[in-house]
Chains A and B, each alone.
Chain A
């Protein structure tokens, strides 16, 4: 692959070094295949750069290549160096083709799943190739002092500091005077421009001018940028810029704006007429303007999508196909339990049940056209116990209550008493038999909520005495003396922020401030593995719905995909610009969603490691995610108290649910996806009618193509119920297999 694209590749490498675009949505393991993504942005920024500068960077690239012993590439680059001036403009169109072309080819790779299976399951990890680590470091900030200087030097070009406010004001006047339809679009430019102008002033030691500039114009910015502005305002000296993560984010990633062609032309003409090079330079260097043809967007459309740290996601970023369908369930003959059936028949609801069961059966037989191939990623084989559990699950499902606006679920609330503000994470098992809690005092506690008590397996010495042939050997290996309702797991050395049960209930994962993810056995109640990889607090971890894999994400901004039997990660997903605050597997286990403090949600392909969706629209760090059971939709909740609904297939925002007044820590769809439950710091559980929410959105081809959607203001109609707790923040929600809603939180008297 590398040989084919050589000429282009070198240009890309060069750009990577020059601007340190470390992560353009796909910067991750597959270093080579990731670069097409970055070309699309790189190509455009290229044209204004002077040729002298080009020469320098070329030399730098050559050195870099030599150092890495990439002699072949060096030769090619040398050969092409003379032509580089001509090659400048051509990649713009080509690279776009390459960017979109790259992904389907990757998809084709997926067909070769058998070889992949061996790649994953054989101990040689596909993950971190040689190029990954340096990239990761660059993104994580902190230790990368040398890089900072490179990054910062871009600010060295400076104009007269006194003129900055004039420039800004001039643009402001211009934008205020343009036609209404363009004004909203062009106003998007204000914030990134403001930030970069301020940073330039600070970098060039114009402290007072910077302060004045900030005071004069910070009030104009949209309110949802307030948090970033606060960080900016504290930065008033060049020294502060070193190692400041927010600063780095602004530098390393281009702020993405979507502007219609007409509006863009208007802006361009204005700036060229005025000879306003200062602003033009900033726009060229630090902004990525995604131009689309068609009607300019309205203010509300823009507001719905903006708010993230680095602007909106590029349209290209959401073009890749996502197989959001569910995997076919393995066929398991359900042994007809006659007694059970009859007993229920007597209860008098036989009619309802029969058709439902049929529908279940037919669903599992047909292959969903949107589903990934069954073997796209290797999944663990079902064990006998898993099959038993599946059967149990199906049986329970037949007793499931159909929920709807007229049939709201009952909510059972589990309050943690005497937690002294220390409860940090909760999880339920899928069959709702166990609850685990993570605490600030580094402990993990597991409770059994059924009469069945928690028992440990006997010690090795005792086990050897057991008759292995006996029928009840599984009973015999348990140590009756250790039976208790709850167990405490000690091992972490910092607050436990994330916790997740494996689907087979044999394992428990916990992630902690101490930078480790631990795997606990629920048979022996001991720690089995400590996965070390994150050096900073790990905010969340989550098991795959099929077990074996799990995902973790934390302060280092990299999400890692692990398999329980590997001590090194299989995939590293780098791209977020701030802490990864929550992680979640897609129901088909082929994708992983991560929410971040940079106010974006990204969807990653487990197979290729590519970022396939960037969803923007939240105005605060995202703290909860949920997939609908059919895998088609996603819900996300953030500190801004809003729940946003997303169409995964189209990469579109399809709904906004307003009502909470504080951070939403828990989201869950009911088992049929008809109701969304949200739990928040404001001590309420709210139920939303998601069927109606998804129905209300009309998706025509145009909106699907452009992503410019009109959100209906219907939060009030969709809200089905609000349930106040008694000063107990809701931090976890779970629907049992029969659609009873369980909620959990710590009582704060």
Chain B
């Protein structure tokens, strides 16, 4: 590795073009090629020297990031005047421009209106330095508190669940724990530090008293009646880094809970349990893969179950199905790998159920709704391949319910929901997939009963997409707006030297706004002259605008400083 890099180090020098650009910026027009080469070598050397000194300041500042002030101090060390007031919001504040065969990085200095600055409200005062103490370790064991990193990092949990083969034989584990004479709780920590013996930590089945209390409190709060308490409990589940050991209990709690409450049609509790699942999934320190075999059935139950509540005509169990479907999609996205194939297995499950109800008219609308919701959350591809082909049949069925004799209120509501669901999900997919124009008749032919409604939804979706696109456009416009004000031209090498007068012209901002597509550099270059074009306003060709600017002046010099050795 080092050998590859070293020869490169030897040869990295600034391009001679940079020297030319810099010379031009201070009014030296014709610089010999040789002097450019000599200069660039010298400058590169000095820059490397300064960078090396700056690194010293970085090390002593106990940072891993080089800052502009480090470079200032390094310059001071060499008795060179530091750069005053160079600061940037971005990590690499340089813009790139090319044109006329030249490539250029420059530092963009915006012109600032003083009155704007004066009128803006003061920014918030940054918080003062403060000191906070916590236990990093108590007698050799790191407590699982938010101030400490999670005891078992997510990566480790992941490797454990995906590569269980790495587990070590029990004999070695015994040895490891007796050797250090520590309790079982620290077996995990040891697994981390003994890089040689990667042992599968023995999962502790005994929770400490505090953990038991915590578990009791949390589970009670989650299914209890006080909403504020529940919010707190869920918040704790979603953020606490020390839950790793309690995960099996939670997952059992959830799966058992769902099993019981589905039978009892207790909608509220089911919703609470699903929220717990969501909180667990949100916790950045937990890796749930090992517990999916318990969680997924519970979630799927909440999606497709025939009945989830006591009064299906009044209660909003649809929301629960939607929520659970989203959860399902989320877990598919996170945990699906080539080995476990969660996504495809889930898709198959839904399709199977769906096929059943397709064949069988008797299937509840609720289950049908669940299947469609579950499938459509999995993404537009799934919708396209699995749902769109069935729209006609589904449409006919809905029509039968809504037009036909009123069989039951429940069916009617169910059909309604399914219809809305289909329209919602399919419209956006069709809007993307099908070409314009939207023809009602065409839609009717393609999708049957749902066609006309679908058509209007698609039109709406398209309008919305267009609106959004416009907004995006507008934002880019505001970002790029200051840029096209400055263009660079004519550096007249070999031309008539006398006529070239560097000037700074500020293009009125109205002019730039007229140009509909800023930022696309066009190239009005006659062969003899060289241009460095940052951007031009295409409409105003009569005024060849803006040449050398302070931007380049200051900018290039600063670029020079940031070329790393």
Contacts and interface: CB of A to CB of B under 8 A. Distances in A.
Interface of A: 211, 214-215, 218-219, 223, 226, 229-231, 233-237, 239-240, 244, 405-425, 435, 437, 439-440, 445, 447, 449, 486, 494-495, 497, 513, 536-537, 539, 555, 579, 581, 597, 621, 623, 639, 662-663, 665, 681, 685, 716, 719-726, 729, 731, 743, 746
Interface in B334-373: none
B137 A410 contact: yes
A415 B147 contact: yes
| Minimum-distance CB pairs A-B, first 4 | A408-B140, A219-B3, A411-B136, A413-B136
A717 B178 CA distance: 14
B134 A722 contact: no
Contact of B127 (A418, A439, A581, A721): A418
Contacts of A419: 129
Contacts of B136: 411-413, 685, 723, 725, 743
Contact of B10 (A214, A226, A536, A621): A214
B142 A663 contact: no
B6 interface: yes
Chain B, interface size: which category? 35 or more
A722 B194 CA distance: 10
A424 B135 contact: no
Interface string B230-260: 0000000000000000000000000000000
A416 B73 contact: no
Contacts of B148: 724-726
Interface in B112-145: 126-140, 142
23 contacts: A214-B10, A219-B6, A234-B44, A234-B45, A236-B10, A240-B45, A408-B140, A412-B134, A413-B135, A414-B133, A418-B127, A419-B129, A423-B62, A437-B129, A440-B61, A495-B61, A597-B56, A621-B59, A639-B59, A681-B64, A720-B140, A724-B142, A725-B149
A406 B181 contact: yes
Nearest to B151: A724
A513 to B, nearest CB: 6
Given A407-B139, A411-B135, A639-B59, A234 B49 contact: yes
A84 B42 CA distance: 46
Contacts of A240: 45
Contact of B9 (A230, A244, A445, A513): A230
Given A410-B138, A413-B134, 6 more contacts: A226-B6, A408-B137, A424-B61, A435-B131, A497-B60, A723-B136
Contacts of A408: 137, 139-140
A24 B343 CA distance: 72
A300 to B, nearest CB: 20
DSSP majority for the B interface?
Answer: mixed
A229 B77 CA distance: 22
A439 B134 contact: no
A439 B48 CA distance: 27
A237 B40 CA distance: 13
A244 B45 CA distance: 11
B10 A681 contact: no
Interface in B126-185: 126-140, 142, 147-149, 180-181
By secondary structure, the A interface counts as mixed
A420 to B, nearest CB: 7
Interface string B52-63: 100011011111
Nearest to B153: A724
A743 B180 CA distance: 24
Contacts of B189: 721
A725 B2 CA distance: 31
Nearest to A639: B59
B494 interface: no
Contacts of A621: 59
A229 to B, nearest CB: 6
Given A539-B60, A579-B56, A215 B132 contact: no
Contacts, number: 169
A211 B10 contact: yes
Contacts of B180: 405-406
B59 A663 contact: yes
Nearest to B47: A234
Contact of A412 (B7, B128, B135, B195): B135
A421 B45 contact: no
Interface string B3-41: 100110111000000000000000000000000000001
A418 B131 CA distance: 9
Q: Which of A235, A409, A414, A724 has the most CB of B within 10 A?
A: A724
B69 interface: yes
A726 B9 contact: no
A720 B57 CA distance: 33
Interface string B516-535: 00000000000000000000
A198 B428 CA distance: 69
B63 A623 contact: no
Contact of A215 (B7, B126, B130, B147): B7
A720 B186 CA distance: 12
Contact of B62 (A413, A424, A720): A424
B65 interface: yes
Contacts of B2: 219, 223, 226
Nearest to A234: B48
B73 A414 contact: no
A407 B195 CA distance: 22
B436 to A, nearest CB: 48
B193 interface: yes
A264 B358 CA distance: 92
B462 interface: no
B196 interface: yes
A688 to B, nearest CB: 12
Contacts of B9: 230, 233-234
B370 to A, nearest CB: 41
A721 B48 CA distance: 40
A555 B149 CA distance: 37
Nearest to A554: B60
Contacts of B44: 234
Given A211-B10, A719-B193, A724-B148, A513 B73 contact: yes
Given A218-B6, A536-B77, A726 B147 contact: yes
B63 A421 contact: yes
B565 interface: yes
B290 interface: no
Interface in B457-515: none
B242 to A, nearest CB: 13
Q: Which of A234, A409, A421, A725 lies at the interface centre, i.e. has the most chain B CB atoms within 10 A of its CB?
A: A234
Nearest to A214: B10
A521 B318 CA distance: 71
B444 interface: no
B192 interface: yes
Q: Which of B61, B63, B137, B138 has its CB near the most chain A CB atoms (within 10 A)?
A: B137
Nearest to A413: B136
A118 B189 CA distance: 58
A422 B127 CA distance: 13
A237 B6 contact: no
A722 B192 CA distance: 9
A137 to B, nearest CB: 15
Given A234-B48, A411-B137, A447 B131 contact: yes
A11 B189 CA distance: 64
Nearest to B6: A218
B129 A445 contact: yes
Nearest to B195: A716
Contacts of A716: 194-196
A127 to B, nearest CB: 25
B62 A215 contact: no
A257 to B, nearest CB: 23
A383 B264 CA distance: 81
Contacts of A597: 56
